[in-house]
Amino acid sequence: MKTLKNLCKSEEKLGLIGIALLVFFLIVALLAPTIAPFDPYERVGKSFDTPSSIHLLGTNDIGQDIFSEIIYGTRFSLSLALLASFIAIVLGVLIGVISGYFQGVWESFFMRLTDFILIIPFLPLVIIISAYFSGSFKNLALVIGLTAWPSTARIIRSQVMRIRSKDYILNLKAMGGRDSYILKRHILREVLPIIVYRFMMMANSAILIEASLSFLGLGSPTIKSWGTILYYAQVRNAFLTDAWVWWILPPGICISLLSVAFLFSGYYVESRLNPKV
Amino acid sequence: MKYKSWKKIFVIMLISIMCITNVAAAHSSVDTLTISIHTDENTLTPFTYVRGYPGIEVARLVFDSLFTLDANNQVIPWMVEEYSVDENFQVYELTLRDDLKWHDGEKVTTEDVKFAFEYALTQNSSRWRRIASEIEEMEILDERNIIITLENSNLDFISNGLADFMIYPKHIYDGVEDATLVEETVGSGMYQLLEYRSEQYYKFKAVEDYFMGTPKVKNITMPIINDSGANFQALRAGEIAATTAQLAPELVETFEGNRNINIKSGPGFGSTLLQFNTEEYPFNDSKFRQAIAYAIDIDELIERITLGYADKGNLGFYHPNSPYGRQTSTHSYNIEKSNELLDMLGFTEKNAQGIRLDAEGTPLEFELLVNGGSAPRSRTAEIIISQLMDVGIKVNIVALEGNTLDDRVWPGFDVSHGRNYEMSIWGWSGPMQLNSDALIRLFASDFAKGNLNIGGYNNDVFDDLAEKFAKTLNLQDRDDLIQEMMEVIEGEVPFLTLYYGETIMAYDSTKYDGWVMQDGMGIINKFSFLDLDTAVAQEGVVSTEVEEVSNNQSSSFPWWVVLVLIIPATLILKRRKNREDDEEVI
């Protein structure tokens, strides 16, 4: 009993750390123009400059301030993570609820579609799709969102199936309750904690996928995202010079921190709202 | 005390001799050399290589051509011992060397030469087909003599055709419908391909009785390392002797500090350019293209992207060091002139974002396609969009994967299929600079002649000059015509050459130091492995060697000097020792 309590406490602590980090990144994203000393698109120094009091993390290969790039990168990474997970969650919930609640032909169709997407290795699938579209913000969010929904759909479907066979739902149906009413008022309300948890996990994945895609050169080369910063650092050989310390470590740490922030917040939501998941 | 100091001198001398011996050993005949290749080039046959560089350059170690280009890009006979050309430049009589052999031991004969040209016409390789299609007939006189007659006169058939076309064996390819299915790589070149493992490595063995002499390196192993950073990491760690990958400008300083690594650099002929689709409004107006050219600060591009390791592009096409280049067609950055031209074209009104509007009120907003996989090109595009914004032209970068970009700019690699872009960051490889007909291929509106006219450029004056050029056989007249065509292009700006990146190659000089820099191409060429006068002559190539050692110095090292030093030193030491022993006894 004591161990369980301790566990809950540590999860709470982790959750608080996660939320604090999220809030921190949110503030940085919102206040980017104020915090960043330079416009990240302006060429303000000489190329490959080392860190100095003017350029805290030096400059990149075309003389843009790396510190400002990272600050603005928060905006991109955070908003992309939120938008991509939103798309994935909406699709996943819609397909999961329809399949789980109505069953029949729709369930068969959606579940085979889900199986089909699930058996294709995820990252190669995303890479192929990205290679054929330009890596703009909208396209990246769509590519991630449209390929990341199946696992959510599966989980939601199984939960909806469990809930729909509960006595109170059967009673409601027997009393003539409409499907839209039952879905909105009861089913969705019950699966909400799972949706929130999945959203956090999706956002975490979206950050890593965006970083991976941009690092592989499949993002937009002009967008200031952490993945793009890493991509240019790698292709301009920062690993072979001392520049990796100020050009590769900081965006790498940011990616890890934001990812951890979503992960911890997700665990917290999971433990607080639905310990059974 | 005196004995000890003599001992010290002796030890120092021995160490020095050992060092000298090591350096000398690195330069004499080398048993095995590991050179990384930065792309997988398939089985390296004339029909399976993937890229112009490094594929074709490495394939030339295995396959020979009748003529070849030396280190200074001058044509020299190679498989050919004697040749004559008629006054119309239409009939070429060639005599093959007597000591040519395929790697499987068969003799190379004129049957192989005739077959190679005829077979190329049946295959899907535009590079070889273009050359072979110029031939009207071939007459074999005997196994060493052949007469090649062209359909039309061609003054450059040797340099543009015979020096490029690789000869391959009839007994291997005869009867094979698709040449890409031939798995054996049998050439007559200085190296025989022993083993190829896809995405892993190549292994070559020197042909001891090669007709130009035994190659200086007996075995070459080429691991395939796709990541350029990993190539240089391997070079720095001493795991490889050299790499086909060009050294990135940002690494020059780091590598110059490494005493084992030498760097050779020279003008590069590969261009990076801003290509316009001249069929699209407003790019169909030369004034608009000029306005864009004036708005681009090429010096900034060179300084930021290539860190100065590039030659400035010009309004024509040829590099100043190419046989057809000239210095006068310089580009100038002039914002006022750009604005003036844009105003003159009627783009005077601007919207709230400062973007100029055309007569219908549509903002001047365009797409610039770029290969997202090339960081220098993406960065070039990024700087260009900010420079064009300064004159009120908004450009959006569309980064595409290489093949997708090709599909938009050069669909099916056939310019007659049209094009689907407005502007693109593009480039032509180095060998284009060596072709006298490059301008015609790039700008002739008849797509049969202008097979590289990816911008759909159409100009009657240029076409007339191109027509004249085809009929002119006098060298001086042709040169004048090239300059005239260049002048037309300079005024019209169908594309803007931004820069020619320098060729920078790094190698570990302790492993091998016989590298020869071929102008505009690099160090991976047959002259790097042969002892030829042609390979040594390298005027105009800048060499930033860290250690002042060279192949010639080591081979002619005066060994007698070492002996003269060692013998007296030993004698003196012995005498000294004996004397000390005697003193001790007393």
Condensed to tens digits (0 to 9), the pLDDT of residues B174-198 reads 999 999 999 899 999 999 999 999 9
- Residue A124: C-alpha distances to residues A127, A129, A143, B31, B403 (Å): 5, 9, 12, 42, 17
Question: Position of tokens 């990796």?
Answer: A244
Range with the poorest average pLDDT among A12-16, A137-141, B551-555:
B551-555
Residues of B in contact with A47 (CB under 8 A): 250, 303-305, 307
In a domain, A49, yes or no: no
pLDDT at res. A3? 59
Structural domains of chain A, count: 1
What value does the mean pLDDT take over residues B99-114?
A: 96
Is pLDDT above 50 for A277? no
Cβ–Cβ < 8 Å for A247, A233: yes
Residue in B250, B397, B404 closest to A221 by CB: B397
Min Cα distance A239 → chain B (Å) is: 8
Cβ–Cβ < 8 Å for B151, B138: no
* A42-70 pLDDT tens trace: 999 999 999 999 999 999 999 999 999 99
Among candidate residues B238, B244, B206, the one with its CA nearest the CA of residue B58? B244
pLDDT at res. B454? 95
Report which secondary-structure segment, H or E, holds A81.
helix A66-97
pLDDT at res. B473? 81
Test A131 with B382 for CB contact under 8 angstroms.
no
> Who's near A212: CB < 8 A, 6+ residues apart?
A123, A227
Comparing A46 with B475, which gets the higher pLDDT? A46
Question: What gap in Å lies between CA B169 and CA B209, rounded to an integer?
Answer: 18
Question: What gap in Å lies between CA B56 and CA B41, rounded to an integer?
Answer: 9
Test B375 with A218 for CB contact under 8 angstroms.
no
Test B381 with A221 for CB contact under 8 angstroms.
yes
What value does the mean pLDDT take over residues B12-25?
A: 48
pLDDT at res. B412? 84
pLDDT at res. A2? 55
In a domain, A43, yes or no: no
Q: A-contacting residues of B 327-366, CB under 8 Å?
A: none
Test B228 with A237 for CB contact under 8 angstroms.
yes
In a domain, A45, yes or no: no
Min Cα distance B401 → chain A (Å) is: 6
Test A48 with B307 for CB contact under 8 angstroms.
yes
* B367-403 pLDDT tens trace: 999 988 788 999 999 999 999 999 999 999 988 878 8
- The answer, for B229 touching chain A at a CB cutoff of 8 Å, is yes
Question: What gap in Å lies between CA B338 and CA B389, rounded to an integer?
Answer: 12
* A104-157 pLDDT tens trace: 888 889 899 998 888 888 778 777 777 666 667 888 888 888 888 998 999 999
Is pLDDT above 70 for B6? no
pLDDT over 70 for what percent of chain A?
A: 93
State the alpha helices, DSSP H only, in B360-401: 375-389
Per-residue pLDDT band at A215 (split at 50, 70, 90): confident
Q: A-contacting residues of B 281-320, CB under 8 Å?
A: 300, 303-305, 307
DSSP state of B69: E
Q: What is the pTM of this model?
A: 0.77
What value does the mean pLDDT take over residues B67-91?
A: 92
Per-residue pLDDT band at B23 (split at 50, 70, 90): very low
Question: What gap in Å lies between CA B3 and CA B6, rounded to an integer?
Answer: 5
In a domain, A264, yes or no: yes
Per-residue pLDDT band at B267 (split at 50, 70, 90): confident
Side by side, the strands of the sheet bearing B542-544 are B191-197, B201-206, B217-223, B30-36, B242-243, B503-508, B261-266, B542-544
Per-residue pLDDT band at B328 (split at 50, 70, 90): low
One-character DSSP codes across B391-451: TT-EEEEEEE-HHHHHHHHSGGG-GGG----SEEEE---GGGGG-TTHHHHHH-SSTTT-T
pLDDT at res. A221? 77
- The answer, for B74 touching chain A at a CB cutoff of 8 Å, is no
ipTM of the complex: 0.76
Residue in A43, A220, A236 closest to B399 by CB: A220
Min Cα distance A233 → chain B (Å) is: 10
Range with the poorest average pLDDT among A164-173, B464-473, B548-557:
B548-557
Q: A100 by DSSP, 3-state: which?
A: helix
Question: What gap in Å lies between CA A172 and CA A178, rounded to an integer?
Answer: 8
Question: Position of tokens 């052999």?
Answer: B101
pLDDT at res. A166? 87
Residues of A in contact with B404 (CB under 8 A): 131-132
Question: What gap in Å lies between CA B218 and CA B239, rounded to an integer?
Answer: 18
Residue B37 backbone phi and psi in degrees, to 5: -115, 135
Is pLDDT above 60 for B558? no
The distance in angstroms from the start CA to the end CA of chain B is 19
What value does the mean pLDDT take over residues B238-253?
A: 93
pLDDT at res. B201? 96
Is pLDDT above 50 for B540? no
By DSSP bridging, strand B145-150 and strand B191-197 are unpaired
Residues of A in contact with B306 (CB under 8 A): none
Among candidate residues A212, A217, A213, A165, the one with its CA nearest the CA of residue A186? A165
Per-residue pLDDT band at A93 (split at 50, 70, 90): very high
> Who's near A267: CB < 8 A, 6+ residues apart?
A11, A14, A15, A18
| Interface with B, mutate which of A240, A241, A242, A247 (most B CBs under 10 A) | A240
CATH of residue A243's domain is: 1.10.3720.10
Domain that holds residue A182: 2-38+55-273
Is pLDDT above 50 for B332? yes
Test A221 with B303 for CB contact under 8 angstroms.
no
| Token code pair at residue B397 | 């970068």
Residue in B250, B378, B382 closest to A237 by CB: B250
Question: What gap in Å lies between CA B341 and CA B110, rounded to an integer?
Answer: 60
Test B375 with A48 for CB contact under 8 angstroms.
no
In a domain, A77, yes or no: yes
| Token code pair at residue B196 | 């190829």
pLDDT over 70 for what percent of chain B?
A: 85
| Token code pair at residue B178 | 């698709």
Residue in A218, A221, A239 closest to B378 by CB: A221
> Please, which contacts does B345-354 make with residues 24 or more away whose CB atoms are closer than 8 Å?
B345/B282, B345/B285, B345/B287, B345/B288, B345/B291, B347/B392, B350/B392, B353/B394, B354/B389, B354/B392
* Residue positions counted in chain B: 586
Cβ–Cβ < 8 Å for B257, B249: no
Residue in B232, B305, B375 closest to A235 by CB: B375
What value does the mean pLDDT take over residues B114-140?
A: 92
Cβ–Cβ < 8 Å for B303, B521: no
Residue in A48, A222, A234 closest to B382 by CB: A222
In a domain, A44, yes or no: no
One-character DSSP codes across B18-42: HHHHHHHHHHS-EEEEEEEBSS--T
pLDDT at res. B460? 95
CA dihedral A186, A190, A192, A195 (to 10 degrees): -120
Residues of B in contact with A236 (CB under 8 A): 248, 250, 375
* B487-522 pLDDT tens trace: 999 999 999 999 999 999 999 999 999 999 887 778
Cβ–Cβ < 8 Å for A81, B322: no
* B440-460 pLDDT tens trace: 999 999 998 898 999 999 999
Test A221 with B372 for CB contact under 8 angstroms.
yes
Per-residue pLDDT band at B559 (split at 50, 70, 90): very low
Residues of A in contact with B235 (CB under 8 A): none
pLDDT at res. B26? 45
Mean residue pLDDT across chain B: 86
Is pLDDT above 60 for A208? yes
Per-residue pLDDT band at B576 (split at 50, 70, 90): low
- Residue A254: C-alpha distances to residues A169, A226, A261, B292 (Å): 46, 8, 10, 39
| Token code pair at residue B577 | 């020792």
Comparing A127 with A80, which gets the higher pLDDT? A80
Test A131 with B401 for CB contact under 8 angstroms.
yes
DSSP state of A238: G
Cβ–Cβ < 8 Å for A202, A85: yes
Residues of A in contact with B370 (CB under 8 A): 221
Test B404 with A131 for CB contact under 8 angstroms.
yes
Comparing A25 with B267, which gets the higher pLDDT? A25
| Token code pair at residue A269 | 């939501």
Per-residue pLDDT band at B579 (split at 50, 70, 90): low
Question: What gap in Å lies between CA A161 and CA A158, rounded to an integer?
Answer: 5
The distance in angstroms from the start CA to the end CA of chain A is 20
Cβ–Cβ < 8 Å for B61, B189: yes
Question: What gap in Å lies between CA B173 and CA B123, rounded to an integer?
Answer: 11
Residue B203 backbone phi and psi in degrees, to 5: -130, 125
pLDDT at res. B2? 52
Residue B262 backbone phi and psi in degrees, to 5: -105, 155
Cβ–Cβ < 8 Å for B496, B292: yes
Output Rg (C-alpha) for chain B, integer angstroms: 28
Question: What gap in Å lies between CA B458 and CA B462, rounded to an integer?
Answer: 8
Test B233 with A240 for CB contact under 8 angstroms.
yes
Test B372 with A135 for CB contact under 8 angstroms.
yes
Q: What pairs with residue A154 in β-bridges?
A: none
Per-residue pLDDT band at B567 (split at 50, 70, 90): low
Residues of A in contact with B402 (CB under 8 A): none
- The answer, for B404 touching chain A at a CB cutoff of 8 Å, is yes
Mean residue pLDDT across chain A: 87
The upper half-sphere exposure of residue B299, i.e. CA atoms within 13 Å in the direction of its Cβ, equals: 6
What value does the mean pLDDT take over residues B284-305?
A: 95
Residues of A in contact with B379 (CB under 8 A): 61-62, 221, 232
Test B251 with A63 for CB contact under 8 angstroms.
no
In a domain, A6, yes or no: yes
Query: Which residue of chain B is at minimal alpha-carbon distance from A230?
Result: B375
- The answer, for B233 touching chain A at a CB cutoff of 8 Å, is yes
One-character DSSP codes across B94-148: EEE-TT-B-TTSPBP-HHHHHHHHHHHTTSS-HHHHHHHTTEEEEEE-SSSEEEE
pLDDT at res. B385? 94
Q: B533 by DSSP, 3-state: which?
A: helix
Test B397 with A132 for CB contact under 8 angstroms.
no
User: How many CB pairs (< 8 A) connect A and B?
Assistant: 83
